[in-house]
Each structure stands twice: as structure tokens, then as C-alpha cells.
Structure 1
Amino acid sequence: MGRYIQVEENVKIYVEDLGEGTPVIFLHGWPANHKMFEYQFSRLPANGYRCIGIDFRGFGKSDAPWESYSYDRLADDVRTVIDELGVTDATLFGFSMGGAVAIRYMARHNGHGVKSLVLAGAAAPVFTKRDDFDYGMDPEEFTEQMIVAAFEDRPKMLTKLGLQFTKTKTKAGMMIWLQSLCLQASHHGTVKAALSLREEDLRSDLSKIKVPTVIFHGAKDKICEPNLAKLTSEAIAGSRIVMFEQSGHAMMFDEQAKFNEELLLFLNTEDLLRRSEDIDHVNAVSK
């Protein structure tokens, strides 16, 4: 079921809410929308999970204000959705830029309503190189290939991005479908969110994450290099990495069966642990 949630006076965010059970909140990558997770939305509800997909402002069916595409603002939108839906004990799932926003949410809002975290191909700790950070994309290269190219010919830019996005290059239909999702984004939202990708720094956020965390990453990722996953994991206490050896950036398409299996394994394990803790708490109170 889809609905709109007011996050600012003149801004509404589109949210898809499907299934019943433990909630899993999905944050999409740049410049797609929640529909990129349709192969999870078609499976998780059958396994007792409620799928909540958020279209970031400027993307998918959400409103596209001219300003306000910082990670802080996007994280605040997520907080409003969680509060409006009354969600508790959720797993927050963030892919690529969505992973970056998920990290900022956990730090900025102290993990409100979230009991576990999945980061998939996350654009973290920093997406572009800095004087003190020698990983990620070169900022000038990113500006030329993504931002300048979006102003000149957005469909062409998305086609080139798609060739790096997934290893399923022979699946022409899949590539066309993914590009169609990206073209649903507003032009200015695409550009301004890209500026956030280039400029934002999450290094100080990572140590504030205190929930069980798993990091999914493609070994052949050309957009967010695997070293970024290692650095992110080192900074999040107790986190672990699941590497997808045959995947590029989008492991949910390149190794779909393994991806869904690993996601369900993590979700089921966290549910069992939470139930065990609840039983222990009840037993302790009753003594």
C-alpha cells in the first residue's frame, strides 16, 4: 500500500508499505527509488516481514523541492516517516547513497526505532577522495561524469552509470528497467543529491552506531570500491562484512539468490536474538 507522508510544510514523501511482521525500512540508491527493491518486496512479506520503501525527496513519487538534499535533511525525512508509521524495532536497510543516509540517521537520531542495520554497497565512510582520505572516486572525475553529464544529457549519463552499476550487462531488459527508475527522479534532485554524495563525510558518524550491523558489498564494485566496506566495518563495533564475489555495485541483481538468502539469514537471526532477550527480560522481572 502506498501513501504520502508530510515531512515539511510543502514536501510530501512517498512510502510503500507492504506485508506484516517485523518492519524492514529500505533506503534506495542514487538516483533510483524504492522500486529497485521489488525482488525483496516480493519475497520478504511471505517470510513474516513488513517492507517499507521510502522514495527520497526528489526521487520516485516524492515531491521535489528546489533545495534541501543534504544527508541531514534526508535523515530527518526518514525520522518523520518512522514516527508517522509508529515503527519500532525495525531493520534499516540502506543501499549506496541510501546506506550513507542510513548511517547519518543512526548517528543523528540515535538509532530511533531501529534495532539492526544493513548497509549494501554503501557510499561510506566518504564517497570521494580527500586530502586525508585516499579512497573512493576522484571528486573532479565524479563532477564531470555525473553532475556535468547530468546537465548535458541525463539519459546518456545514466546509461554509462548502468554499465558500472551491475555485472548483468547481458540482461538488456533489466538495464532498461533500472534506467527507467532513475529517469523518474527530478533533474535538480538528481544533481543536488549528487553534490551531497560528493561533499558529505560520515567518518564521525560510524562510531555512534550501536546496533547489530551487516555490510553487504560486491567484490567487483567499481562505484564504491570494496576497501570502503572494510573501512566502514572497522569503524562500526561488532559489524561484519558479507562479500559477494561475483557482484558489482548492485549485488541484489548480480547475485540475487545469495543476496536474498543472506538478508533473510540476518533478519531471522536478529529476530531470534530479540525474542530471546525479551524472554530473558520477562523471566528476570517475574523473579
Structure 2
Amino acid sequence: MTEPFSLQIDDTVFTGLEAGEGIPVVFLHAGVCDRRMWENQIEAVAAAGFWGIAYDRRGFGDTSSPDEGFSHLEDLEAVLEALDVHAAVFVGASSGGALAIDFALANPERVAGLVLVGTSISGARVPRLPPEIMTIANAMEAVEESGDLDAINAVDAHAWLDGPLSESGRVSGEIRALFQTMNGNILRKPQLTREDKPQSAVHAVGEIGAPTLLVAGDRDFPHIVNRHDDLSEEMENAFAVVIEGTAHLPSLERPDLFNPLLLEFLAMLTGQDDHES
């Protein structure tokens, strides 16, 4: 079972979940989720003999902060220091993957491995989208301009959970309810206006030497799936896996398929038997 924690760092209170002990595995959530997207994975790595950790970044989940100048990278470094974590394996989804990349570039000696899920990259150019995807993107933009938070949440669930070209409602039940709870909370939070944007990592990713597992869902936006193929060539110790039948959040949608990949990767990094607890 996961246990909640909170850390007060200056005027910000970061909330998180943890379980287990041993080598730290730090989970960084997507921009439409919070720490809760990783609860299944935290329990899985804890059972395999690792220390699973996830926290809510500013503007997400239950973390509370004033509208002040901040950097997600500096926040991550501060959270790790507060937890007395020097080095770890970092698992990041979407914008959490971009943060993991930024951390690996700034602190290569502290990264034992990376797992990047549907990752974005700081400084990446706006992609050229095919016509069928542009239709979805235009609809998302129109709904956002309307200011109807429930409608925005519904469209976000279609795009990111179901997949942009999938039938709306493809993913249902508890997973959809959790997604809409997490994303709805984000949409209703006060906007933070003073983030220090990270430097572009687009041309530096090839400098990362840490072993890296790249995971994408085949129902995700095509440019995101293609990015994983490109990264597998740019990063010398990376390999890419596509989980069929999933979209942008395969770890949330199909933990039964994602978790074995994660545990196998951790076992490879550490030499530990992933069946030991």
C-alpha cells in the first residue's frame, strides 16, 4: 500500500505518495494527471524491492504554492534533497518525461536510468499535424476558448485517454473517473503565471548516456509515437516499445502490460530479481 507524504519547502507544500525501500524510483506525472496516476506502479516497484516515490508538481494535485517565480527542475531537485535521494531511476510521462530529460541533462551523475512514457521534450517545436488530427486539435482549441471546464475535461479525456482517433469513451470505468478527477482538479486550480521555462533540450538529448526505456501507445498522437522512434536513434542507450491498443497514458490504461516492462527494465539496471520482494 502507498503512503501519503507532504514536504514544506519554503512557501510551497508538495504532496506525494511513496512505498517500499531500496533504490529510489521517482515517478513524474503527465500534465493532465497528478501523483495518483502512478499508484499502481509505486505498489509494483515496492513489491519488487524498490522505493517508489511520486509527487504533485506545482499546479497539480494537492500541492499548494503561491504564484511566485519557480522552476519545475529546481522543485524536483529540492524534493529529492528533502527526501535524501541522491540518485534514482526516473519514470516520466508526457511533460513529466520532459522534466526527467531536463534533470538527466543537468544532473547526469544522479540518473541511474530513465523510463519515458509518451514523452514531450522541453523546447520541441509545435508539430505539423495531419488533417484528421488537426480536426481534433481545432475542436480542443475551440472548447478551451469556451471556458466550459467540464467540456474541456471531456475533450481532454477523449484526446489523451482514449486517443485522438479513437471512439470517445473507449476507456471507461474507474480509470476514466480517475483521469477526469485529476484533470478536473488541474483545470480548476489558480493559474501559476511566473514559471521559469526550461532551456530547450531538443538538441541535447543525445548527450544522455543513462539506459532509457521509451514507451508509447499506438493510439497516441502520431508525432508522439514518432518521437520515440527518433529518440531511440538519438540516445545511445535507449530502446523503444509500443504498447498496442493504448493511447497517451499506457501505464494508467494498461498497468498489466506496462508494469512488466518497467520491472524488467529495473531488474536489468540493478541486477535484482524482479520477482523478489
Common topology (TM > 0.5) = yes
| Cα shift at 1:187 | 3.9
Residue in 2 that maps onto 1:123:
120
Aligned to 2:166: none
Provide Cα deviations, 1:217-245, integer angstroms capped at 9, x if missing partner. Answer: 11221275311112222222221101112
Q: Is the CA contact 1:64–1:189 (under 8 Å) kept in the aligned structure 2? A: no
Paired letter, 1:79: E
The separation in 2 between residues aligned to 1:142 and 1:55, in whole angstroms, is: 27
2:214–2:228: 8 Å Cα contact kept in structure 1?
yes
Q: Which residue does the alignment assign to 2:75?
A: 77
1:17 Cα deviation from its structure 2 partner: 2.2
Structure 1: any 5+ residue segments left out of the alignment? 274-287
* Distance of aligned partners of 1:189 and 1:33 in 2 relative to their CA distance in 1, 3 Å threshold: farther
For 1:84-116, what per-residue CA distance to the aligned partner results, in whole angstroms no more than 9, with x for missing partners? 2121341101001100111111112x2353211
> Where does residue 276 of structure 1 map in the other structure?
none
The answer (yes or no) to whether the contact 1:23–1:52 under 8 Å persists in 2 is yes
- Report the Cα distance in structure 2 between the residues aligned to 1:195 and 1:148, rounded to whole angstroms: 27
Once the two structures are superposed, what CA deviation does each residue of 1:65-84 show, in whole Å capped at 9, x if it has no partner?
Answer: 32446xxx101111111122
Instruction: Give 2:86's aligned residue.
Output: 88
The runs of 5 or more residues in structure 2 that have no matched partner are 163-168, 273-277
Structure 1 residues 18 and 104: alpha-carbon distance in aligned structure 2, compared to 1, 3 A threshold: same
Cα distance in structure 2, aligned partners of 1:195 and 1:145? 26
Q: Judging changes above 3 Å, is the alpha-carbon distance between structure 1 residues 224 and 180 closer, same or farther for their aligned structure 2 residues? A: farther
Cα distance change of structure 1 residues 125 and 13 upon mapping to structure 2, 3 Å threshold: closer
The amino acid across from 2:180 in the alignment is Q
1:247 shift after superposition: 1.5
Give the letter for the 1:95 counterpart: A
* Cα distance in structure 2, aligned partners of 1:143 and 1:127: 20
For 1:217, the aligned partner's letter is: A
> CA contact under 8 A between 1:246 and 1:255: conserved in structure 2?
no
Structure 2 residue 140 is matched with structure 1 residue 105: no
Letter paired with 1:184:
N
Q: For the structure 1 residues 188 and 181, does the alpha-carbon distance in structure 2 shift closer, same or farther, using more than 3 Å as the test?
A: closer
- What is the TM-score of this pair, normalised by structure 1? 0.79
Structure 2 residue 111 is the aligned partner of structure 1 residue 114: yes
Aligned to 2:155: 160
1:103-153: CA deviations, max 9, x gaps?
111112x23532111101101365552xxx6579999x8698369717702
Matched, 1:233 2:226: no
Q: 1:219, 1:244 within 8 Å by CA — same for their partners in 2? A: yes
Write the distance in 2 (CA, Å) between the matches of 1:205 and 1:38. Answer: 31
Amino acid at match of 1:159: A
User: What's the secondary structure of 2:121's corresponding residue?
Assistant: coil
Superposed CA deviations along residues 16-43 of structure 1, whole A, max 9, x for unmatched, are 2211122110000013111011211232
Change in 2 beyond 3 A, CA 1:136/1:158: farther
2:19, 2:52 within 8 Å by CA — same for their partners in 1? yes
Question: What TM-score does the superposition give when structure 2 sets the normalisation length?
Answer: 0.81
Residues in 1 aligned to 2:187 and 2:155: alpha-carbon distance in whole angstroms: 19
Return the alpha-carbon distance in structure 2 between the equivalents of residues 154 and 95 of structure 1.
Answer: 23
What letter corresponds to residue 51 of structure 2 in structure 1?
Answer: R
Distance 1:37 1:202 in 2: 25
Identity across matched positions, percent: 23
* 2:5 aligned partner: 3
Q: Which has the higher helix share?
A: 1
| Other structure's SS at 1:15 match | strand
Q: Counterpart of 2:31?
A: 30
Match of 1:281 in 2: none
Structure 1 stretch displaced more, 171-180 or 119-128: 119-128
What is the SS of the residue equivalent to 1:42? helix
Task: Report 1:114-193 matches (<5 A).
Answer: 114-124=111-121, 128-129=125-126, 134=128, 145=140, 149=144, 152-167=147-162, 169-185=170-186, 187=188
Distance 1:193 1:187 in 2: 18
Matches within 5 A, 1:2-81: 2-7=4-9, 9-68=10-69, 73-81=71-79
Distance change in 2, residues 1:191/1:79 (3 Å): closer
Q: Which residue of 2 aligns with 1:285?
A: none
Which residue does 1:258 correspond to in 2? Answer: 257
Whether the 8 Å CA contact 2:120–2:224 is kept in 1: the answer is no
